[in-house]
Amino acid sequence: MKDRLEQIKKEAIEAIRVSDVPEKLNDVRVRFLGKKGELTAVLKGMKDVAPEERPKVGQMVNETRAAIEQFLEETKTKMERAIREERLKKEVIDVTLPAKKNNVGHRHPNTIALEEVERIFVGMGYEVVEGPEVEYDEYNFEKLNIPADHPAKDEQDTFYINKEILLRTQTSPVQARVMEQGKLPIRMIAPGRVFRSDEVDATHSPSFHQIEGLVIDKDISFADLKGTLEVFAKELFGPETKTKFRPHHFPFTEPSAEVDVSCFKCGGKGCRFCKGSGWIEILGCGMVHPHVLEMCGIDPEEYNGFAFGVGLERIALLKYEIDDMRLLYENDIRFLKQF
């Protein structure tokens, strides 16, 4: 019996050794270990073995089975590994072949710039609100301290629908609308489309975008306005950016200022972008005129605040070095895809 088992083991190992594909290994398993396999046959022959011998023989059969199984497993693992390696070798690809892209679309540079600005101010606790583009004269002018006969109301700048209704020339009317609602304090920005009667050329468009900012609270100072816009400029144009506040005049703010930032192309040394001055004008701002507060139902003795207005196209043109404003409204895909 022992010899028989030795013989089976030897044959099995030999059969495993000559197997060259996993299928043959499987045949070996069936032939030796299967239900009708040779080892099973040996076990079936146990009835002819003397009872006292049976445990010993049983153990010998199990040992033989284990030995065959182990070798079978080892060989199978080796074989599979070899096969995988062979396959991997064949599967080499040229990784420099072109990518399969989803061809995602691109956002308009105006919107990219706007989202930058929104991100900065939302982070500082400002709410983003909107107002109508077709607006009452009252909100666009009167409530902003621009009375009936003010030169700024001249038809040459403003598109009128009729005597009372016009296309807003600025986003500032949103200030008046928000203040009138009377919910204080206010921290808001209002982006949107505005209209001026300018012929289309490289630097003008009859339709463009502004972002209005307004803060109304107790004890707001010009220093707060400076600090806020300084943060804004650094966030938008980089931490090295310097700001310069120059006195200016707007009917709805007093004191008023125009703000220059140090040229982000040359860092202030002077280049073609800043026309050699080292500075670029980006916005107008000021402390909300007490008369404007009054007209909007806010007591200027208790509350005050500041406002600012930024030209969105101006920022987009500067930031992305776009040299012709007309490109923004042509929608040539070769232009849009660059953003």
CB of 219 to another protein, least distance (A): 7
CB of 156 to another protein, least distance (A): 8
Considering beta carbons, is residue 37 or 213 the nearer one to another protein? 213
Secondary structure class of 174 (helix, strand, coil): helix
Interface with another protein, residue 118, by CB under 8 A: yes
Considering beta carbons, is residue 96 or 103 the nearer one to another protein? 103
Considering beta carbons, is residue 36 or 334 the nearer one to another protein? 334
Interface with another protein, residue 108, by CB under 8 A: yes
- The closest of 262, 268, 265 to 282, measured between CA atoms, is 262
Selected from 1, 13, 46, 124, the binder of another protein by CB under 8 A is 124
Selected from 66, 82, 134, 202, the binder of another protein by CB under 8 A is 134
Selected from 23, 149, 321, 323, the binder of another protein by CB under 8 A is 149
CB atoms within 10 A of CB 157: 13
In terms of Cβ atoms closer than 10 Å to its own Cβ (0-12, 13-18, 19+), residue 223 is exposed
d(CA 257, CA 168): 22
Part in contact with another protein (CB under 8 A); list of ranges 33-41, 57-65, 67-75, 100-108: 100-108
β-pair partners for 136: 165
Part in contact with another protein (CB under 8 A); list of ranges 71-79, 82-90, 91-99, 246-254: 246-254
The binding track of 3-42 with respect to another protein, each residue x by CB under 8 A or -, is ----------------------------------------
Considering beta carbons, is residue 248 or 265 the nearer one to another protein? 248
Answer yes or no: are the C-beta atoms of 167 and 158 closer than 8 Å: yes
Considering beta carbons, is residue 85 or 154 the nearer one to another protein? 154
Say which DSSP state 272 is in. Answer: T
Interface with another protein, residue 136, by CB under 8 A: yes
Say which DSSP state 276 is in. Answer: T
d(CA 25, CA 230): 77
Interface with another protein, residue 103, by CB under 8 A: yes
d(CA 246, CA 16): 92
Considering beta carbons, is residue 22 or 123 the nearer one to another protein? 123
| 136 phi-psi bin (left φ>0, alpha ψ -120 to 50, beta other) | beta
- The closest of 145, 203, 187 to 170, measured between CA atoms, is 145
Considering beta carbons, is residue 69 or 281 the nearer one to another protein? 281
The encoded tokens of residue 203 equal 């630097």
Answer yes or no: are the C-beta atoms of 269 and 262 closer than 8 Å: no
* Subset of 39-58 contacting another protein (CB under 8 A): none
Secondary structure class of 210 (helix, strand, coil): strand
* Subset of 296-315 contacting another protein (CB under 8 A): 304
* Subset of 165-224 contacting another protein (CB under 8 A): 165, 167, 185, 187, 193, 195, 197, 199-200, 206-207, 215, 217-224
The encoded tokens of residue 177 equal 């609308």
The encoded tokens of residue 153 equal 């109301």
Selected from 234, 248, 265, 319, the binder of another protein by CB under 8 A is 248
Considering beta carbons, is residue 121 or 264 the nearer one to another protein? 121
* Subset of 263-292 contacting another protein (CB under 8 A): 287, 289-291
Size of the site for another protein (CB under 8 A): 83
Number of H helices, E strands in the chain: 12, 9
